[in-house]
Amino acid sequence: MDIDAAKDNFTKYLKAGNYRITPERFQVLESVLKNDGHFDADGLFLQLKSSGSKVSRATVYNTLELLQDCGLISKYRFGENHSRYEKAFGRPHHDHLICLECGDIIEFVSDKLTKIQTDVCKENEFKSQSSTLQIFGKCKKCQEKE
């Protein structure tokens, strides 16, 4: 839907930072936009490769960092040994329930949580930039399996 808006956004970010507009960077962005859930760097690399792109892993990592810096994607570490990303463009902030059994990730939004975070930061005179609440456990489906 807002693919063009995302591209515009990225273009502006690149120009503003005096980064070059390269086809590789936009190939990565397009690949990112195809993913609806969470994805990782290597998955994205494979996805690009299978769609005929010749972008290298190095460029994928490099571009993911740029996309994160300009707010188009969010990066997470769900207690695994690799990072996960997801589209952030035009989406409200949300947090995650992570099933340790099946690996499923459930998203949720909580206004109250946002307020608590604001309060905690104020109390500690801390300037928040980003946050993540991760709840690990067992999802409904996996509980029923027993």
Q: Is residue 69 near its own copies by the rule CB under 8 A?
A: no
Binding positions for its own copies, 40-59, rule CB under 8 A: none
Which residues lie below 8 Å from residue 139, measured CB to CB, with a gap of 6+? 97, 99, 101, 102, 104, 106
- Site residues for its own copies, 100-129, by CB under 8 A, read 100, 106, 108, 110, 112-113, 116-117, 120-121, 123-129
Question: Counting contacts by CB under 8 A, is residue 138 touching its own copies?
Answer: yes
How crowded is the C-beta side of 129, counted as CA atoms within 13 Å?
4
- Residue 130 lies near its own copies (rule: CB under 8 A): yes
Query: Is 91 an interacting residue with respect to DNA (CB under 7 A)?
Result: no
Query: Residue 82 interacts with DNA (CB under 7 A)?
Result: yes
Choose from its own copies, DNA, none: what does 50 bind? Cβ within 5-8 Å by kind. none
Are residues 107 and 95 in contact, defined by beta-carbon separation less than 8 angstroms?
yes
Element (H, E) at 75: strand 73-76
From its phi and psi, is residue 132 left (phi > 0), alpha (psi between -120 and 50) or beta? beta
Q: What one-letter code names the amino acid at 1? A: M
Which is nearer to its own copies, 60 or 139 (by Cβ)? 139
Residues that bind its own copies (CB under 8 A): 75, 77, 79, 97, 99-100, 106, 108, 110, 112-113, 116-117, 120-121, 123-140, 143
